[in-house]
Amino acid sequence: MNWAKGWTAADAYGIFTGPANPTNPVSTAFVMATGFQADSGFTYVVESSADGINWTPETVVTGDGSYKLFVSDLGLSANLLHRVSVQ
């Protein structure tokens, strides 16, 4: 809610351009993203864990010098860790 819309100096000077009360975004999925620089000549393993003790391999990434982004679905759990290691 934009409490300043409609009666403040900021509104009078045209600082606000959107509606006073924009709608809330709706999320249909919980995801987590981890990004890393994948240097050429290296192979990376992305793993996930709900407890930080037991790790599950998710994917293997071959480095090509670019930035990589790994996105995983959290499902019904909000607890998830990612780690990236060089193989």
Higher pLDDT, 80 or 75: 80
Q: Comparing C-alpha atoms, which of 51, 19, 36, 39 is closest to residue 84?
A: 36
pLDDT at 14 over 70: no
Per-residue pLDDT, 6: 55
Domain count, the chain: 1
Cβ 45 vs Cβ 84: under 8 Å: yes
**Boundaries of domain holding 80:** 28-86
Per-residue pLDDT, 58: 92
Task: Give me the sign of the Cα torsion angle 62, 67, 72, 77.
Answer: positive
Percent share of the chain, pLDDT over 70: 62
For residue range 4-13, list pLDDT tens digits in order: 455 555 556 5
